[in-house]
Amino acid sequence: MVEVRWTDQAIEDLDAICQFIARDAPRAADALAERVKRSIERLSEFPSSGRVVPERGQSDIREVIVQHYRVIYRVKSELVEILTVFHGSRRFPDLGDA
């Protein structure tokens, strides 16, 4: 098993998405947050289970799709680092040095 760690950016992203949804549908926001968290849990045992991000083409930068959202993560030797969460209709964000 590897450690799964959320970056501050990813936490802020998911929080902002859920706050936006909660304005009209608080239950839907809670359900989305729960689905994202459940989808990420399996990465501790299966870190390469997400697909390689097409925009990057690097085997260590992967994603899990949850409803309309892309959860981008980086696989390191003993760590899965959640980098960002964003709506699939948006442009792929700059990941800095990732």
Q: Please report whether residue 98 resides in a domain.
A: no
Q: Please report whether residue 63 resides in a domain.
A: yes
Q: Please report whether residue 94 resides in a domain.
A: no
The pLDDT, as a whole number, for residue 24 is 96
Count of domains for the chain: 1
Q: Please report whether residue 60 resides in a domain.
A: yes
Residues 59-86: b if buried by 16+ CB within 10 A, e if exposed: eebbbbebeebbbbbbbeeeebbbbbbb
Residues in the chain: 98
Q: Please report whether residue 71 resides in a domain.
A: yes
Q: Please report whether residue 23 resides in a domain.
A: yes
Q: Please report whether residue 96 resides in a domain.
A: no
Q: Which domain holds residue 13?
A: 3-87
Report the CATH number that the domain containing residue 36 is assigned in CATH. Answer: 3.30.2310.20
The pLDDT, as a whole number, for residue 72 is 97
Tens of pLDDT along the chain (98 residues) come to 899 999 999 999 999 999 999 999 999 999 999 999 999 999 999 999 999 999 888 999 999 999 999 999 999 989 999 999 999 888 887 776 65
